[in-house]
Amino acid sequence: MRKFGWVSGVVLVLGLVGRGHAQGKSNPAAGFVAELVRTGVSPHAIRGTDAYGVPVVCSQGDPGRNRSHRDSKQAARALPTGSRGWECIPGVIRNDGVDTFRVEVDVNGAVNEVTLDAINPLLVAPQTPPVVLRDDGTGGDLVAGDLVYTSGDFRFDTSQVMSPHYQGDSNSPAGLDFETVGLVTIDETNGTSTSFLLDPEIGLLDASLPGTFVQVPDWDVAYAPNVVNVRTNDRNAQRFLRGLGGDLRDVTNLMYTVLPDRYHFCMLFSTNKVERLPRVSSANFFAGNFSNVRRDFTGTGGAAFDDSASYGSDGELLSVNVLDSTSRGIASSNAMHEVTHQWSAHTSATLGINDATGHYNSQCSAASLVGGFAWIANGDGTFTLDCDQGRNGSHNAPPLDKYFAGLIDGALVPPIQVGSGLSMPSACGTSVAPEYTVTIGEIQALHGVRSPGPATTQRDFNVAFVAESHGRLLNNTEMTFYQILAEHFAKSVPAADPDPYLGFNWVSVDRYFGEGTTWNTTLQPTPPPALIGIADGLGVTGSPSAFISPVSADVDFTSIRIEVSEPIDLVAGRFTIDVTGGTAPTGMTLVTDGPDHYRVDLNGPVPQREWTTIVFTVRNTTGALAEWCLQLAHLPCDVNGDGNVGLGDASAYVNEVHGANRAALVDINQDGAGGLADTSAWVNNFHGQTGLPAANGTMLPNRPSCP
């Protein structure tokens, strides 16, 4: 395990079928810290260093944060002046040697050249390094002259072995990890060379892991059982972290289009990277941010308030917690650090146990993920500092955090020891004497007793994980990666196992706060009329994958939306319609709704309990012609068991992009529970083997072959 380092209703079925880290970079951590402190970053907000030696900073309380709602979304689509970014597309690949990704670097201004060198030995590069990124519309670059430099295709080297667990920690999920791609060098027009503070990372997913179910009800939202993907054009999470005007409410309001208002914490994954110029700007070091939405308690130093309505919630959402992209932000200690800010540390700075940024004094015994360390009493008035328990990582929440969360009585909180002039980390493991102590009585005298207290405080928490993507929806491999992470966050820890250590890893928080608390990341979406999509590709080199969804207001499914992963050319006049039975639509038109957005408008509804097949011709990214076979079937289902078929029967549906395995998300077979039996029932019905109780015993006929 890597720990932080130190620093001085209706089912519509659709089938779509076609005929190690980088080397050679040194990060002078001590110099970084000196620069951060010089620019005004509180030393108590610097939590140590990550695996690459870069200081980890929480931006909670940063006075430069722009939290105002934007007047113009359009103005936020381009990166602001003085910033750059990178993204791997897709951000996750399988370790099968087949999946590929490209690196895009948005330089946001004129440069001479962009290259990638010191390529990770786990990867096969598109050319002998240095890899030259292009902005001329060739070699994988999509648009010439848009200042987005693009590499060719990378893939996993199957002669290599990826880490068996996330960040090398056996308590973290198996079969996935992030790895650095290489080192980016940007040759400027003035003859100098610059780089990023944190270079591109790619997610790796073991090829043996099954894909998750991804439901795509709209252009901008997709979801799996434990994670929602929202597509924006604004990079809100990254811009918010860097103080560049991103608005988290744009993300949460999209989230609430598919989720009910029952979530207390929104954990926001960022799938791309934005950095300020120069690379050592303090905002670039922020690995996470706590954005308080609602506080419904007193006695911790903060006043009660409720701003949840602007985020799309009616008094449920407590906070939005932004995690920086890839391994930089996706760490257990980082995630729970931000969650802990909901309750800690907001006491008056006059007490001396915390500063104005919401972090405990690093020289106190709070032993919290938001600051301080464990002080072990020696019995003679001195204490030994245990620096493995506290701001760098911990097994359990300390008594002070539990008290502020309302979980325990103040009588159970020991005095907080506060030192002075301690040199860290050299003081770790040594015997020290406190300069003074702060008691719970002093805290209560200043701020009052925490209310509500242990008898009535909230102990059950629902967590919504959201992955924000820029200008596209994530593919199934990416969604599977984030689904595994979201599900693992609240995974039950076996009784015989020790409490996991929350550090630079991704372990369950099931036992962290204890005291009867529960954490749940399972989503309970409210789906629209359902669509089941299968996208196996076109069988032609360079063919795009596709997401398919019905136009939400179209109950009879006379209009179908298609979104592809790469631009395509529609070949006019080359489409036909066939049907296995019933009365099929006799005509259709293809309408371009926007970049990579297409709508199929039929002149009649899709027949019930039959297959409708539409074949049309496209020109793919290599210029070759290919035929798409679009198959639709309308199966009315009484999913909710009220004896009627209608919009209230929004049922499970699947988007089997990239060969994902099927899985049920609702009680398809109406046996009173959701599970694998529902999957079997749906699959059997799909293949015409058994009828569904939800469909009054009816079934679809076998799906015919494409013409």
Which domains does the chain possess?
Answer: 55-65+214-343+459-520 (no CATH), 82-205 (2.60.40), 351-404+408-447 (no CATH), 530-650+667-695 (2.60.40.1220)
Ranges 225-239, 443-457, 459-473, 537-551: which has the least confidence? 537-551
Q: Which amino acid is at 619?
A: R
What pLDDT is stored for residue 621 in this prediction?
52
Task: Label residue 519 by pLDDT band (50, 70, 90).
Answer: very high
* pLDDT for res 512: 98
Q: Are 220 and 106 in contact (CB under 8 A)?
A: no
Q: How far is CA 38 from CA 32, 42, 116, 258, 626, in A?
A: 10, 9, 32, 45, 59
Cβ neighbours around 231 below 10 Å, total: 19
- Per-residue pLDDT band at 53 (split at 50, 70, 90): low
pLDDT of residue 313: 96
Give the pLDDT band of residue 318 (cuts 50, 70, 90): very high
Give the global pTM.
0.74
3-state per-residue secondary structure call for 362-418: CCECCCECCECEEEEECCCCCEEEEEEEECCEECCCCHHHHHHCCCCCHHHCCCEEE
Average pLDDT for 482-497: 96
Q: Sorting pLDDT into bands at 50, 70 and 90, what band is 596?
A: low
pLDDT at residue 223, rounded to an integer: 87
More confident residue, 216 or 66: 216
Q: Are 493 and 510 in contact (CB under 8 A)?
A: yes
Identify the weakest region by mean pLDDT among 45-59, 117-131, 417-431, 521-535. Answer: 521-535
User: Residue 357: how many CB atoms within 10 A of its CB?
Assistant: 20
Contact residues for 671 (Cβ-Cβ < 8 A; gap 6+):
677, 678
Residue position matching structure tokens 């939590």: 47
Strands (DSSP E) found in 206-326: 215-218, 221-223, 227-232, 265-270, 273-276, 286-292, 294-295, 305-306, 319-323
pLDDT at site 355: 83
| Model confidence band, residue 139 (pLDDT cutoffs 50, 70, 90) | confident
When pLDDT is cut at 50, 70 and 90, the band that residue 524 belongs to is: confident
Given this model, what pLDDT does residue 118 score?
A: 97
Does residue 589 have a pLDDT over 80?
no
Task: State the average pLDDT over residues 358-367.
Answer: 93
Kindly report which listed range (19-28, 176-185, 441-450) carries the lowest average pLDDT score. Answer: 19-28
What are the residues facing 467 on neighbouring strands?
229, 269
More confident residue, 393 or 532: 393
Distance CA(138)–CA(145), nearest Å, equals 11
Return the H-helix or E-strand segment holding 676: helix 676-686
Q: What is the percent of the chain with per-residue pLDDT over 70, rounded to a whole number?
A: 63
Per the document, the length of the chain is 707
Q: What is the pLDDT of residue 590?
A: 59
Sign, CA dihedral 361-362-366-371, equals positive
Mean of the pLDDT values across residues 534-540? Answer: 29
Q: Are strands 569-579 and 611-619 parallel, antiparallel or unpaired?
A: antiparallel
Comparing 114-123, 448-457, 559-568, 620-629, the range with the smallest average pLDDT is 559-568
Residue 451 predicted with pLDDT over 50: yes
Where residue 258 falls among pLDDT bands split at 50, 70, 90?
confident
Q: Per residue in 169-203, pLDDT tens?
A: 999 999 999 999 999 999 999 999 999 999 999 99
Residue 109 neighbours by CB distance under 10 Å: 15
**Residue 68: per-residue pLDDT:** 32
Q: What is the mean pLDDT of the chain?
A: 78
Looking at per-residue confidence, does 55 or 491 come out higher?
491
pLDDT of residue 356: 79
| 27 Rama sector, left if φ>0, alpha if ψ -120 to 50, beta otherwise | beta
CA neighbours within 13 Å on the CB side: how many for 72? 5
Least Cα distance to 464 among 484, 480, 486, 479 occurs for 486
Both tokens of 8, joined, read 């001085």
Q: Are 20 and 558 in contact (CB under 8 A)?
A: no
The token duo for 62 is 């940063």
- pLDDT mean over 299-315: 96
pLDDT exceeds cutoff 60 at 553 = no
CA nearest to 354, candidates 60, 138, 157: 60
Q: How far is CA 435 from CA 142, 382, 399, 417, in A?
A: 62, 11, 21, 8
The pLDDT-based confidence of 220 (bands split at 50, 70, 90) is confident
Angle 484-251-62 from CA coordinates, rounded to 5°:
100
Residue 672 pLDDT exceeds 90: no
**Alpha carbon of 366 to those of 138, 306, 361, 429, 605: distances in Å?**
56, 28, 8, 16, 65
- pLDDT tens digit string along 82-99? 999 999 999 999 999 999
pLDDT of the residue at 122 = 98
Q: What pLDDT, on the 0 to 100 scale, is given for residue 476? A: 86
pLDDT at 620: 54
pLDDT of residue 628: 59
Strand 176-180 with 131-133, pairing: unpaired
DSSP class of residue 653? -
Burial 283-321 (b: 16+ CB within 10 A, else e): bbbbbbbbbbbbbebebbbbeeeeebeebbbeebbbbbb
Residue 34 has pLDDT above 60, yes or no: no
How far is Cα 604 from Cα 679, in angstroms, rounded to an integer? 31
* Residue 296 scores a pLDDT above 70: yes
Which single residue is written with the structure tokens 């987005």?
A: 148
R_g (Cα) of the chain, nearest Å: 27
Which of 39-48, 69-78, 636-645, 687-696 reaches the highest mean pLDDT? Answer: 39-48
Distance, CA of 410 to CA of 453 (rounded, Å)? 9
Question: pLDDT at position 50, please?
Answer: 66
Confidence band for 531, pLDDT divided at 50, 70 and 90 = very low
Q: 702 pLDDT exceeds 50? A: yes
Q: How far is it, in rounded angstroms, from Cα 178 to Cα 158?
A: 16
Give the Cα separation of 448 and 441 in Å (integer).
9
